[in-house]
Amino acid sequence: MAPVDYLGATAAGKKAAERTANLAPVLGALQQFHAAEDRYPAQLQELVQAGFLARVPEAPAGQALSYNPADGSVRWVSVAPR
């Protein structure tokens, strides 16, 4: 059985896929940096400075990029409107 709001579900799936695709270069750069430096960068901007990433991606509306330098994990998180 198809969802009641098929178009809404499709749009939400597309947005989720875009967010994941936007993280792919960051994740790859984190792996390369870790392999070269045997540590994760203190900040994502360090990936740009070291030449592993052209730029840190901009967050979609209502989202922020959350990075944990202890384990190299990165994800989008929702932020409250200002």
DSSP string, 7-32: HHHHHHHHHHHHHHHHHHHHHHHHHH
pLDDT for res 70: 97
Query: Taking the CA atoms of the chain, what radius of gyration do you get in angstroms?
Result: 16
Using one digit for the tens of pLDDT, what is the confidence trace for 46-74? 999 999 999 999 888 888 999 999 999 99
Contacts of 45 (CB under 8 A, 6+ apart): 56
- Given a cut of 90, whether residue 41 has pLDDT beyond it is yes
Which residue ranges make up each domain of the chain? 6-78
Spatial separation of the C-alpha atoms in residues 39 and 68, rounded to whole Å: 12
Task: Quote the tokens at residue 36.
Answer: 């070269």
- Given a cut of 60, whether residue 12 has pLDDT beyond it is no
Using one digit for the tens of pLDDT, what is the confidence trace for 22-40? 899 999 999 999 999 999 9
pLDDT for res 42: 97
